[in-house]
């Protein structure tokens, strides 16, 4: 396993934004990542997806050390932090520094499925949310369909639910659902006679089937699968909020998720930056260390400044969420697009700096491998999921020009 490089964040970033409570969680998350996640990161990143490849050891360790309790109040089985969103997203950044797969698994379990459940009744919180905090149950969040993702409108969402007495009959298909093949339940966006509604569906229910994991370009440890519903009976008490409130629930949940994905972008960008700095101090070309060339000095100066901006943006979005602002714009949209775009730019720079070594999953000569290749494969999905970066720019444009003009 390659030796860890110097964490440049400690040298370059002076956090004057996040509260002390959050700083303590960040220290704990970093120690956990170094001890548990980093040693497994390469294997997770290079193992082909299968039902057996889910990183259960890391998932269990996250539960045992109470990381799944961070986002929630004490009455829901959580830690009851004053700034739960801030603590959650700094945890996500630390996890993404070592493995964006693990960060995505955590994001979906805690932020997407978990936050959707927070909109629910006491019964839903007791039955589904509390067991999630200890990993007794694994959750997933299902809005995307084969022909609906960015456009979550009643005209696009085809998974439908028909009410019959005190239950609903659900038919349809969801796609790219993270954790589905290992999950116990899903929070599902369905169409009830033109009214979008969120409900909890047990994945072991009769008529429910989860497909095998997709084979993806990156994020191998984040397993995504289709979910098929064929006349699945769902009790009416599993409806989150009310019929017709599903889009608001989904968008509120995805906004929180976007702050988390922004944090993953920062984590990946910081990791690629750190790997690059360490390599440029050692590698020589034409009689000089690569770090002595002004082109790369200036480029890294730009990237360091951009990482600062991205981290500040997601921190501000998280602080506003902790103040009770459900849709903290423009910070959330700005953070998501800027941080994930930065991750891509920094990953491309890193592979270029490493040259041929950056293109290797494993060098046959000595079985060595380089983290920048993993980051290069993993970053791309962050620009797509939980709202494409184009959607984020549209949200920003609405904030700038007003919805009437933009729409």
Domain borders along the chain are: 9-138, 140-246, 248-406
Q: Is the predicted pLDDT of residue 407 greater than 90, yes or no?
A: no
The answer to whether domain 140-246 has CATH 2.60.40.10 is no
Query: What CA–CA distance (Å, rounded) separates 40 from 52?
Result: 15
Q: Which has the higher per-residue pLDDT, 211 or 406?
A: 211
Active site residue 193: no
pLDDT digit string, tens, across residues 339-394: 999 999 999 999 999 999 999 999 999 999 999 999 999 999 999 999 999 999 99
> Exactly one of 94, 306, 331, 386 is catalytic; which is it?
386
pLDDT value at position 1? 53
Does 3 score more than 80 pLDDT? no
- pLDDT given at position 208: 98
The predicted structure's pLDDT at residue 23: 97
Distance between CA atoms of residues 346 and 235, nearest Å: 48
DSSP secondary structure string, 59-89? Answer: HHHHHHTTGGGTTS-GGGTS---SSHHHHHH
pLDDT at residue 353 in the model: 98
Residues 145-182 have pLDDT tens digits of: 999 888 889 999 999 999 999 999 999 999 999 999 99
Write down the mean pLDDT value for the chain: 96
Residue keyed to tokens 């047990």 = 202
3-state secondary structure of 92: helix
pLDDT band at 327, cuts 50/70/90?
A: very high
Query: In the chain, pLDDT over 90 holds for what percent of residues?
Result: 96
Average pLDDT over residues 32-36: 98
Q: What topology is assigned to 248-406 in CATH?
A: Butyryl-CoA Dehydrogenase, subunit A; domain 3 (1.20.140)
pLDDT tens digits, 230-245: 999 999 999 999 999 9
Task: Give per-residue pLDDT as tens, 109-145.
Answer: 999 999 999 999 999 999 999 999 999 999 999 999 9
> What class does CATH assign to 9-138?
mainly alpha
In a 13 Å sphere around the CA of 203, the CA atoms on its Cβ side amount to: 27
């Amino acid at each position: 396993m390659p030796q860890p490089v110097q964490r440049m964040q400690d040298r370059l970033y002076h956090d004057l934004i996040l509260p002390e409570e959050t700083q303590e969680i960040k220290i704990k998350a970093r120690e956990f990542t170094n001890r548990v996640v980093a040693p497994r990161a390469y294997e997770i990143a290079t193992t082909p997806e299968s039902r057996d490849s889910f990183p259960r050891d890391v998932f269990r360790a996250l539960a045992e050390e109470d990381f799944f309790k961070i986002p929630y109040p004490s009455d829901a089985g959580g830690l009851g932090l004053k700034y739960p969103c801030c603590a959650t997203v700094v945890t996500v950044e630390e996890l993404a520094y070592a493995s964006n797969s693990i960060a995505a698994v955590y994001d979906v379990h805690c932020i997407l499925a978990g936050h959707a459940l927070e909109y629910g009744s006491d019964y839903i919180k007791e039955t589904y949310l509390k067991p999630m905090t200890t990993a007794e149950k694994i959750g997933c969040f299902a809005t995307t369909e084969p022909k609906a993702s960015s456009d979550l409108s009643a005209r696009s969402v085809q998974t439908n639910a028909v009410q019959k007495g005190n239950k609903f009959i659900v038919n349809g298909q969801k796609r790219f659902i993270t954790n589905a093949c290992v999950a116990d339940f899903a929070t599902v966006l369905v169409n009830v006679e033109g009214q979008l509604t969120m409900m909890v569906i047990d994945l072991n229910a009769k008529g429910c089937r989860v497909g095998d994991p997709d084979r993806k370009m990156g994020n191998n440890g984040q397993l995504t699968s289709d979910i098929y519903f064929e006349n699945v009976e769902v009790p009416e008490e599993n409806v989150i909020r009310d019929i017709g409130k599903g889009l608001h629930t989904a968008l509120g949940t995805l906004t929180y998720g976007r702050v988390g994905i922004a944090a993953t972008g920062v984590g990946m960008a910081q990791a690629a930056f750190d790997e690059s700095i360490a390599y440029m101090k050692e590698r020589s070309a034409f009689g000089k260390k690569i770090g002595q060339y002004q082109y790369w000095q200036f480029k890294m100066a730009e990237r360091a400044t951009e990482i600062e901006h991205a981290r500040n943006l997601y921190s501000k979005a998280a602080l506003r969420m902790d103040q009770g602002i459900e849709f903290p714009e423009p910070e959330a949209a700005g953070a998501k697009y800027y941080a994930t775009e930065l991750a891509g730019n920094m990953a491309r720079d890193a592979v270029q700096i490493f040259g041929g070594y950056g293109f290797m999953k494993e060098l046959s000569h000595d079985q060595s491998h380089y983290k920048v290749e993993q980051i290069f494969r993993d970053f791309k999905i962050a620009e797509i999921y939980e709202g494409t970066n184009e959607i984020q720019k549209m949200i920003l444009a609405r904030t700038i020009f007003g919805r009437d003009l933009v729409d």
